[in-house]
Structure 1
Amino acid sequence: MVSKRFIAKRLLLLIPVLFGVATLVFAILQLAPGNPARVIAGQRATEEAVRQIENQLGLNDPIYIQYGRFLVDAAQFQFGNSFVIDKDATVQQLLQTRIPVTLELALYGQLIGIFLGIPLGVLSAVKQDSLTDHLTRIGALTGISVPIFWSGPLLILLLAQIFDIFPTGRRIAPIYSTPDPITGLLTVDTLLYGQYDAFFSAVHHLILPACVIGIYSMALLSRMMRSSMLEVVRQDYIRTARAKGQGIKITLMKHGFKNALIPVITVIGIQFGTLLGGAVLTETVFSLNGIGTLLVDAIEVGDYPVVQGTVLTFAFLFTLVNLGVDVTYSYLDPRIEQ
């Protein structure tokens, strides 16, 4: 059982991390070329109009005042309105509509990687140096080496264009109306509303992009699980259990698997942040309007509030995943809590 003190300690450690990320984002945008007031006013606006907007936004204030105001707004998750992408919407509203798309994509991609990569890694370790082991290692090496911007279009060409198995470019078929968001995750919301046909349509549309980012996850997890399992198999307590007459399958699953998972959990936590970053490419390839494409669009047009909010959201999600990794650690090995 994980203690509340351990969780509270980990939550407190998140504060300096987020503070550092916020400071870095503020510094980079301050050093970046361009003037936000000029972006808002337009390229043909007069200098007087630009100065007026600078005064309204406080861009003429000393840098330490701007920094303090930014930290206060970031702590409240308030970044104002978008300059360019949607001037009638706040950054918070934009993120609320885009975050579920990326989270759903990354979550299903991670699940594909976990449910395929971990069993393949265990199987490869158990059958070391066999044909199964060699094929699994070749497949894992291929999955790690293939970039998303190549595998995505290739799968679209084969499975969507040539064989017409999976659709692309939408989250759900046009004949189904998108339900009012409860969680924001389309597959979950359609189930909660009892719209089972719409649910299967959403899953059908999600399989291809989730597989694209899941292939990399599966390859890395299988490699890590194999190495960790081989290390555990050589431990003395495994030999002792085998010497007492316990079967190899029971020994590995009862004594070895739980200990072998500890370093793999680290990879899963770090990889979730990688999947969020990989979702930028996947969303672009599959025309999904998630937080990744929002960040790319905001950088291209110089929409500074959206860039700030999006980057800090990425950092916040990543720190939450790391918190989950720490909690899982202490559950698998209570000694870590000490």
Structure 2
Amino acid sequence: MVSKRFILKRLLLLVPVLLGVATFVFVILHLSGGDPARVILGQRASQARVLELRQNLGLNDPLYVQYGRFLLDVVQFDFGQSYKVAQGQPVRSILASRLPITIELALYGQFIGLLIGLPLGVISAVKQDSIVDHLGRVGALSGISIPIYWSGPMLILFFSTFLGIFPASGRIDSTMFLADHWTLFGMELPLTGMVTVDTLLLGRLEAWFSAVRHMFLPAATIGIYSLALISRMMRSSMLEVVRQDYMRTARAKGQGSKITIMKHGFRNALIPVVTVIGIQFGTLLGGAVLTETVFSINGIGTTIVAAINATDYPLVQGAVLTFALLFTLVNLGVDITYSYLDPRIQQ
């Protein structure tokens, strides 16, 4: 059982981290050069209009005043309005519509990594130096070494172009239109933005099957790297655990090897792997930029790239801070999982 004091302590530690990230983003964007007023109005706008807009945006205020106003807005999750990518649209609404797309992709990629990586790591450790172990190690090394911008097109060529099994782009067939809400006990509730979840909520099994088919290749693309890293870490951790005295004692008492591995070995070997899983999920969120580009998925990754190219400062700030918040929450989840697997960590 995880204590409330432990969770509260970890939550308080998130505050200076997020404050540091916010400060870093604010400083970097102000040192990067460029005039937001000129970006909004364009290069042909008169100097008088630019100066007027700078005054209205508060860009002529002292830097510490702008910083204080920025922090106050961030606390309220108010990142302003987009300058170029979706001009005039609140950044918060842009992130709310694009973020579920990236989270859904990262979740499926992580699921593939866990589903295959954990058993593969355990089997490689138990059957050390066997053919299965050698093949697993070579496959894991290949998965870590192959970049997304190569594996993605290769999967498209094989599964989409050659075999014709999975679609090469998009999230669902263009002929399938989804409603903007679902009904529960007579109440109209908003959709989640995750197409595989929304199709189930709407009871559209045909649309759900289409969404799963569209999601498989991009999820597999980012899941390959996660699978490889998790399997290698699981193998190393399990090799240390199976050599412990308590494992030999359990076997000496007549307990079966499979029960010993799963009951005593797996849980203890999982502790260092949890850290990798948590960090890897944050990495998948960032790595979705390339995957979304290859598979034409309009998530938060492609939005950040477009915002950077267009010098859309509010959108860049909002996206980076949102990623930072998600990453810190993932780390909090890792700490809680740690304390559940090994209660001594709470002390």
272-281 vs 239-248, which moves further: 239-248
Q: Return structure 1 stretches of 4+ with deviation > 3 angstroms.
A: none
* Aligned residue type for 1:171: R
Greater Cα shift, 157-166 or 71-80 = 157-166
In the alignment, which residue of structure 1 is the partner of 2:184? none
Q: Name the structure 1 match of 2:335.
A: 326
* Counterpart in the other structure of 2:33: 33
Aligned equivalent of 2:99? 99
- Indicate if the aligned counterparts of 1:84 and 1:301 stay in contact, CA closer than 8 A: yes
**Residue 249 of structure 1 aligns with which residue?**
258
Q: CA offset at residue 105 of structure 1?
A: 0.2
Instruction: Quote the Cα distance in structure 2 between the aligned partners of 1:296 and 1:281.
Output: 10
1:153 corresponds to which residue?
A: 153
Following TM superposition, by how much is the alpha carbon of 1:174 offset from its aligned partner in structure 2, in angstroms?
1.4
Residue matched to 1:316:
325
- In structure 2, what is the equivalent of residue 63 of structure 1? 63
Equivalents in 2 of 1:52, 1:162: separation in Å?
A: 58
Name the structure 2 match of 1:81: 81
Question: After superposition, where does 1:34-49 map in structure 2 within 5 Å?
Answer: 34-49=34-49
**Aligned partner of 1:203: which letter?**
V
TM-score (norm 1): 0.99
**1:61 Cα offset (Å):** 0.4
Question: 1:6: how far off?
Answer: 1.1
How big is the shift at 1:113?
A: 0.1
Gaps of 5+ in 2: 181-189
Conserved? CA contact 1:259–1:332, under 8 Å: yes
Q: CA deviation at 1:5?
A: 1.3
Which residue of structure 1 aligns with residue 186 of structure 2? none
The residue correspondences of 1:1-338 to structure 2 (distance < 5 A) are 1-180=1-180, 181-338=190-347
The Cα shift of 1:178 comes to 2.6
Larger CA deviation: 160-169 vs 134-143 = 160-169
Q: Which amino acid aligns with 1:18?
A: L
| Residue type of the alignment partner of 1:169 | S
- Aligned partner letter, 2:204: Q
Deviations 1:35-60 (A, max 9, x none): 10100111000111111111011111
Task: Tell me how far apart the structure 2 counterparts of residues 155 and 70 of structure 1 sit (CA, whole Å).
Answer: 43
Percent of paired sites with the same residue: 69
Distance 1:71 1:131 in 2: 56
Q: Is the 8 A contact 1:166 1:208 kept in 2?
A: yes
RMSD: 0.8
- Displacement after TM superposition at 1:197 (Å): 0.7
Checking the alignment, whether the CA contact within 8 Å between 1:179 and 1:190 is kept in structure 2 is no
- Report how far residue 162 of structure 1 moved: 2.0
Q: Distance in 1 between matches of 2:87 and 2:93?
A: 11
Provide the rounded CA distance (Å) in 1 between the counterparts of 2:123 and 2:337: 23
Q: TM-score, normalised on structure 2?
A: 0.96
